[in-house]
Structure 1
């Protein structure tokens, strides 16, 4: 074979046992294609044994070709068609590979972790208003470091209790409730979908957790804190006193620890109280949606908080008191598109900013072992000596609504001033389109005058 040339093209070579080679001359060189000729069912059949060539990585050696020939000859002697046997071997090999892959996939599915579920839930199962940023933060801080690598099939209520108890030891009752609800929402989503539901064959572990046993006995999930008239007046006095104390400090003592409440925070407090808006809605407000000439504030649906994902536009008719707060705020931030701009001015401030600033000045209720870096840590905004507990920006919304009720405003108008989604038949919503602008304007006017009277 080494002596073959292009002139030998088409020549036939024969070896023992009906091993036949056909010489083929190509541009790349001369090669010999070998096949084994045998008789099967009265007819001659050929079985390919490989190709030998002078050059080329795919060339077989003559010993390999002869070995292939011997194997084929042995199968014929055993009554097997070597061509069919080779196909069967390929099918068996492919079946074995498919089985190996299937087993690997099965094991991978069985060993999917809590973190794997969290990632898929974020991608396909939940869509919060902040693009799930708070979910990512809370899970990465308190949950995933503890049970993130735990296979879901082995997750138990003890694992979940360990996570929630660790948060509870920091005195964060509200955080415990939020994490419990978020974990429950995720696991109930998984119960209905493959492959997760097959990994929870023993049931949903969150159903075995009683969150109430983890909370302080005096903790109330549904807040009912309402500021009294005296507390509203006291709050105004605190704002004024802190500003006075700071202004009268000598220049060298401005960093003694006394700090007035930021004027924007003060404006936010009075606007929330006088308009019944949510603090998040206010902090997202843009000047383009305020008409201070007409005294109106438009809150687009995307900036509101809805029930079960349903949101609606909201029109606020500002009382003289609320209008004055916005005018004072405009002197500070009117050059920016946002009423409460972030430090870089490119967006609105974080919607938790005011709640944090107010909470940091009521530290006796926070159960913190040490002050948070760069944050206030005092009791300067504690009202009524703390006998009624902590107050939050959302309590101002409840307080304003309660004051409206005391002023004789109907419950339906109060709901509309709070932009609640009202229940009712589809027929009623289809035919009745009165916007109640006059009634709401009167309700906000009464509330504004009541606040002015208290502060006077």
Structure 2
């Protein structure tokens, strides 16, 4: 079998498949024809060591396609044969040496895998220790620290982002137990918070509702902590709201003469025109002050004379019929804020928000009304100087009292109690009645709002008549 050259290798064809060829220097090759037209030569080197049985290990593959070498070159194969030949001359069996190297490489790979696994286990242990340390630190969270976590994860979901609760806690909770570890708080500490709030009660201000609200927020916060294993027990669990006391419900209703006086005083009260409109809309629609201040122009339909509240306190959609009185207020307001999405847009944008991205704070008008009912007092810093501008003969009143006043007036004008309740958007307790009487109340509700608006117009006309009388000089 003659020694084949590079040119002869390139001249091999598919018909040479299976042929054994000599490549010189102890190299032999077996031809294999590929389905893609390529020709491969699997090369072996034959040697004998110290008279032992001949061995013939594979040293590589020469490959050609399209008449060109694309695999290991013939020279590289001969160089590898020369390396093996040198090992044989040195008395080293290349096959056994390759096995030793493979075993060594396998051992090194195993060692590396073991090291990686050991590092992983060490990292897991370190992580577990870190989590245990963190858990121990969290278990010793102060009440203020717990509140911050609760505010960031839960309170932020509330409409006001938890701002009111934060103010309440800063006033009533943190001064007493803010620095205590949350895990150390017990019933007696929570009871002290409740009792301290109740102790602030006066003849004019009952604090039971405030105490109950604070207790409810504390219960939610400690429930949050319990779910995360920051504490082992809820210190509020055995404090019952019923034992705190009974809420004293307001029953303030403005008389007709007081309403007339209010209509007289509003223009000179120092309140913005928008705030005056908010109060007049509330008494004319029976809406809550928060619903009024949070209204959007897209929900006002001047053509249909309706104001739709898509979502209310009871979770139901509510539609209000707009009387002539209410329509005039809205048209006046449209000229002021109609280019914004809100009836009452916030004049100052919050951080990272564009102008008019939100409505005015729901407590704004209530504070303005309160500031103008402080007879004998002194103006508060940064607040209105008109401290007696809205004082009425029947005593202190709030925007919510206007809602009650409108409902009372509506009933006195002849609206049935069930109709008034529907206008107030109170939920009917009986489910069957709630479902089947929904449609039949639409016309009576519209009539009730119309009657109320007409009566408010009459009272307002009285104000205009009084103004004319005062402007007309008397003759004797």
Question: How does the TM-score come out when normalised to structure 2?
Answer: 0.60
- Partner in structure 2 of residue 114 of structure 1: 143
Quick check: 172-181 or 334-343, which moved more? 172-181
SS of residue in 2 equivalent to 1:280: helix
Q: Residues 24-48 of structure 1: CA distance to partner in whole angstroms, max 9, x if unpaired? A: xx9xxxxxx9xxxxxxxxxxxxxxx
- Partner in structure 1 of residue 325 of structure 2: 321
Paired residues of 2:428 and 2:434 also in contact (CA < 8 A): no
d(CA) in 2 for partners of 1:102 and 1:291?
57
> Is 1:334 the equivalent of 2:361?
no
- Partner in structure 2 of residue 373 of structure 1: 382
Q: How does 1:31-430 map to 2 (within 5 A)?
A: 104=133, 107-108=136-137, 110-122=139-151, 127-156=157-186, 159-160=189-190, 163=193, 165=196, 169=200, 173=205, 177-178=209-210, 180-187=212-219, 190=222, 193-194=226-227, 199-200=232-233, 204=237, 206-207=239-240, 211-212=244-245, 221-240=248-267, 242=268, 260-301=270-311, 304-306=312-314, 311-344=315-348, 345-346=355-356, 347-364=358-375, 371-376=380-385, 378-384=387-393, 388-425=394-431
d(CA) in 1 for partners of 2:218 and 2:316?
27
d(CA) in 1 for partners of 2:305 and 2:124?
76
Shift of 1:265: 1.9
d(CA) in 1 for partners of 2:319 and 2:241?
44
Pairs aligned (count)? 352
Distance of aligned partners of 1:198 and 1:330 in 2 relative to their CA distance in 1, 3 Å threshold: closer
Paired residues of 1:362 and 1:378 also in contact (CA < 8 A): yes
Distance of aligned partners of 1:100 and 1:275 in 2 relative to their CA distance in 1, 3 Å threshold: closer
Structure 1: segments with no counterpart, 5+ residues: 1-25, 27-32, 34-49, 51-89, 213-218, 243-258
Structure 2: segments with no counterpart, 5+ residues: 1-100, 105-110, 112-118, 349-354, 463-476
SS of residue in 2 equivalent to 1:139: helix
Shift of 1:104: 4.6
Paired residues of 1:355 and 1:393 also in contact (CA < 8 A): yes
d(CA) in 2 for partners of 1:176 and 1:373?
30
SS of residue in 2 equivalent to 1:298: strand
Shift of 1:118: 2.9
d(CA) in 1 for partners of 2:338 and 2:241?
53
Shift of 1:260: 2.9
Greater Rg by CA: 2
Distance of aligned partners of 1:436 and 1:114 in 2 relative to their CA distance in 1, 3 Å threshold: same
Shift of 1:332: 2.1
d(CA) in 2 for partners of 1:157 and 1:273?
44
Paired residues of 2:298 and 2:341 also in contact (CA < 8 A): yes
Q: Residues 51-97 of structure 1: CA distance to partner in whole angstroms, max 9, x if unpaired? A: xxxxxxxxxxxxxxxxxxxxxxxxxxxxxxxxxxxxxxx9xx99998
Shift of 1:348: 1.7
Q: Residues 207-257 of structure 1: CA distance to partner in whole angstroms, max 9, x if unpaired? A: 499645xxxxxx9631111001111011112235x2xxxxxxxxxxxxxxx
SS of residue in 2 equivalent to 1:446: helix
SS of residue in 2 equivalent to 1:316: strand
Question: How does the TM-score come out when normalised to structure 1?
Answer: 0.62
d(CA) in 2 for partners of 1:291 and 1:391?
31
Alpha-carbon RMSD across the aligned residues, in angstroms, is 4.7
d(CA) in 1 for partners of 2:429 and 2:262?
36
Paired residues of 2:306 and 2:321 also in contact (CA < 8 A): yes
Shift of 1:183: 3.1
d(CA) in 2 for partners of 1:204 and 1:119?
22
